[in-house]
Amino acid sequence: MPNSKSVIVIMGVSGSGKSKIGKLLSEKLAIPFFDGDDFHPKANVEKMASGSPLNDDDRKEWLILLNKLAVKYRDKGAIIACSALKKNYRSILRAEMGNTMVFVYLDGSFELIKSRLENRKGHFMPMDLLKSQFDTLEPPFKAITVSIEKTPEKIINEIVKQL
């Protein structure tokens, strides 16, 4: 079993499976899971729900809050689902974490994720914002990258193997 004393950030665009994979990995590693969406300020949720993409200023407060959460769990281990679309967003998340933070990038095509979002109900993120997320995405160089075309179980096994 990998060292669970890391904070693992499950990242990717909306609809890539961050929450589902994060919860399953949390169960497998016996460390807490936090969905970054739950930490968005109300103004961010309202902006996205209205169909407007967030900008860097909108995201900054949210990313700082998630960093504080990560620092709190640095010695215990945790999993945080967060889009972390840009390199500078990942830098904010990593502040004060040293090498105790690992990014897991859930990689999938626009077409696959669009088809998933078309079938998703009850989420504040409208499908129209998916293109803006792909436009914003700067795929990470230093991350565990896993294709979302696999089953959740195979994704979890691959992540655990690479950890």
* CATH code of the domain in which 52 resides: 3.40.50.300
Q: What is the pLDDT of residue 122?
A: 55
Which two structure tokens, joined as six digits, stand for 48? Answer: 């996205």
Q: In this structure, is residue 66 part of a structural domain? A: yes
**Exposure string (b/e) for 141-156, b if CB count within 10 Å is 16 or more?**
eebbebebeeeeeebb
Whole-angstrom distance, CA of residue 97 vs CA of residue 59: 19
Phi, psi (rounded to 5 degrees) for 9: -100, 115
Q: In this structure, is residue 2 part of a structural domain? A: no
Number of structural domains the chain divides into: 1
Q: What is the pLDDT of residue 28?
A: 95
Q: What is the pLDDT of residue 109?
A: 94
* CB of 24 closer than 8 Å to CB of 79: no
Spans of the chain, pLDDT less than 70: 1-4, 120-128
Q: What is the pLDDT of residue 120?
A: 64
Q: What is the pLDDT of residue 124?
A: 47
- Strands (DSSP E) along the chain, which ranges? 7-11, 33-35, 78-81, 101-107, 144-147
Q: In this structure, is residue 1 part of a structural domain? A: no
